[in-house]
Amino acid sequence: MPEKPEFSFRQTLHMRRNFIGRSCKLHFEAAPLKIVRASRQYLYDDTGQEYLDCINNTSHVGHCHPHVVGVGQEQMAKLCSSSGFLNEQTTMYAKHLISTLPESLCVCFFLSSGSEANDLALRLAAAYTKKKDVICLDGAYHGNLGTLVEISPVRYKKIGSAHQPREWVHVAPTPNTFRGKFDAKTENPGLLYANELIKVFQKAYQDGRQIGAFISEPVISASGMVIPPENYFPCIYRYVREQGAICIADEVQCGLGRCGEQFWGFQLHNVVPDIVTIGKPVGNGYPLAAVITTKEIADSLMDFTSTFGGNPVACAIGRAVLEVIENEKLVSSAKNVGKCLKDGFKAIQPKHPMIGDVRGVGMLIGVELVMDKESKKPAREAAEILIYKMKERKIIMGTEGKDKNVIVLSPPLCFTTDNARYVVQHFSEVLANIESEAASVGLTNLDEVGSTNVPLDVITDEPSISIHALSDEDDEEDEESSAAKRARYEEVD
Ligand SMILES: Cc1ncc(COP(=O)(O)O)c(C=O)c1O
């Protein structure tokens, strides 16, 4: 039985509506949930109802993972705040984080949110290149600070006509091969999209502007998990550097093994950024973020202080998260379970007139809904109805993209293949109902009515070797990692 709450659902909602800014939106605004507890990939509401969480990438290794919670509690009782003093947790975490990155990325700054990390990245870029202008993509979101809203077209376009584009921001098209100037059938769309960005760069120079940095996510989550095509990043990174600017990879959503194939999103594209920013998953829910860069770039900034950045509790938790990723082989799990999810959605796609595109990598999946496959008109309402209907089935999903018509999944990495099958099955049933309704009022073409029988045999449990599986040397585990192995969910059940 859930504990008796201090306030009822209605009282909590009433207070929220009165005391918290209206612009802070709730998930399921029309019928919000009061979540009181979470474990693994499950959320529990105030009535004790369990929900399967397909969107909480912040709880990267699983909600309230016992090893992460235990380490955090222990450090909280020892020392919580010591900004300006030497601390082992901070330096050990920096060392561990750097060991996961290419050699050139060897200096860390710690902060408390992805936004702070991106803001510092822009400051570092300006300090190093002595150029303040930035080039970003039109489908980007990079955070909630003033500077970052300016380089987040998906956000400032929402503000509407009141927003004046800043002269220091230059916007290039998102390399989206489903919806965009060049589709997947075009020859070498990566180079064509790169050329579009180069044109934006050249126009800025003609206008007398000096660009110091290019910032992008390796997988563009705000556009609904768009993966830039082959050749795009290598071509752009080369050009940007030839112009004396630097490249920032925003790994706030896709870093730390979520992409399955690799530990970092930029590794999917065979490039090495000059600055990497991370946030959300690194603290598994605890506020923690970092900027990792080269020594030369780091040294260009004369002064930086952060009261909470790098505090011992945050860093102890950050270390615990890395330990769990390694010990529980979550990178290979992201690859296999992510493949199950994507294969499952691909398998039902031909039966559903409204599934325009299925894309993503690892546990970052996007399913784009359209009114019909020919016009590709975004099916925004259908996407919204679908996530509410899925909620009725106790599965939590979200929407992303300019038109909010892409269903996105980025669950905790302890998500299982059974969870994947379950989600695809219910998604297919719910969407088939929506399609039938839409067809009955002539909104979509239902030549081929969606079968609700998902061919589950495409969803297989493939054994695989993690690229981060422990090596023989690692097998001689130290005391700390064996403690991490002991503290698993099973022991707290
Ligand atoms: C790609 C990306 N960058 C930066 C941020 C900002 O992170 P935070 O909300 O922790 O400030 C977000 C948040 O959603 C994000 O998705």
The residues, ordered by sequence, that sit 6+ positions from 247 with a Cβ below 8 Å of its Cβ are: 213, 214, 215, 236, 237, 240, 241, 271, 273, 274, 275
For a mutational test of ligand 1's pocket, the pick from 136, 253, 282, 286, i.e. the residue with the most ligand atoms closer than 8 A to its C-beta, is: 253
- Distance in Å, CA 149 to ligand 1 centroid: 11
pLDDT tens per residue across span 53-98: 999 999 999 999 999 999 999 999 999 987 889 999 999 999 999 9
Give dist(CA 317, CA 186) in Å, integer: 46
Ligand 1 site residues (CB inside 6 A) read: 113-115, 118, 141-144, 217, 221, 250, 252-253, 279-280
CATH annotation of 9-61+330-458: 3.90.1150.10
Domain range summary for the chain, segments of one domain joined by +: 9-61+330-458, 66-327
Tell me the mean pLDDT in the region 417-438. Answer: 97
Poorest-pLDDT segment among 180-184, 351-355, 367-371: 180-184
Give the pLDDT confidence score for residue 407 in this predicted structure: 98
Q: Mapping DSSP to helix (H, G, I), strand (E, B) and coil, where does residue 158 land?
A: helix
Task: Give 448's pLDDT tier (boundaries 50, 70, 90).
Answer: very low
Give the pLDDT confidence score for residue 155 in this predicted structure: 83
Give the pLDDT confidence score for residue 459 in this predicted structure: 38
Contact by Cβ (8 Å): 292, 255: no
pLDDT tens per residue across span 232-248: 999 999 999 999 999 99
- Distance in Å, CA 185 to ligand 1 centroid: 32
Give dist(CA 71, CA 324) in Å, integer: 12
- Distance in Å, CA 94 to ligand 1 centroid: 21
5 vs 6 pLDDT, higher one:
6
Asked: is 66-327 a CATH 3.40.50.300 domain? The reply is no
Give the pLDDT confidence score for residue 439 in this predicted structure: 86
Please give the torsion angle defined by the CA atoms of residues 302, 306, 312 and 316, in that order, rounded to the nearest 10 degrees: -90
Kindly report the protein residue whose alpha carbon is nearest to atom 16 of ligand 1.
253
What are residue 359's DSSP bridge partners? Answer: 366
Poorest-pLDDT segment among 37-46, 112-121, 192-201, 451-460: 451-460
The residues, ordered by sequence, that sit 6+ positions from 91 with a Cβ below 8 Å of its Cβ are: none
* Residue 180 reports pLDDT greater than 80: yes
pLDDT tens per residue across span 288-319: 999 999 999 999 999 999 999 999 999 999 99
Which ligand 1 atom is at minimum distance from the Cα of 140?
Answer: 1
